[in-house]
Amino acid sequence: MKKAEFIQAVSEKAGLSKKDSQKAIDAALEAISEALVAGKDVSFIGFGTFSTATRAARKARVPGTNRVVDVAKTTAVKFKVGKKLKDVVAKA
C-alpha cells in the first residue's frame, strides 16, 4: 500500500477529508520521527513499538576482493510487532 492509498483508507474509516487525513498522517509520522531522533521509543499498545538501536563501528570484508573496509557507527530504526497485530495478521 502506497501513502496515497493509505490516506484514502484513513479518510474513509475516520470520515475525514483526504486533506485532513494527510495532515494527520504527516503530523503523526513527523512526531514519531522526532521522538526516535531524540532517542525515545514510540509504543502503540497492541500494534507495536518503534525504537532505535546503535550499531558499533566495525570492520567488514568486501566479498570477492577480500579488502577490509571500516563501517562507521550507525543508528538504525527497529520495530517490534505487538501481540494483537501479530495475531490479526496470522489469522488472515
pTM for the predicted model, two decimal places:
0.81
Place of cell 538501536: 53
Q: What is the DSSP string of 43-81?
A: EETTTEEEEEEEEPPEEEEPTTT--EEEE--EEEEEEEE
Confidence (pLDDT) at 92 = 79
* pLDDT on residue 41: 97
pLDDT tens digits in sequence order for the chain, 92 residues long:
999 999 999 999 999 999 999 999 999 999 999 999 999 999 999 999 999 999 999 999 999 898 999 999 999 999 999 999 999 999 97
Superfamily in which the 45-91 domain is placed by CATH: IHF-like DNA-binding proteins (4.10.520.10)
Distance, CA of 25 to CA of 91 (rounded, Å) = 27
Contact 70, 59 (CB under 8 A): yes
Question: What's the number of CA atoms in the CB half-sphere (13 Å) around residue 84?
Answer: 6
Contact (CB, 8 A) for 29 and 11: no
Instruction: Parse the chain into domains and list their residue ranges.
Output: 1-39, 45-91
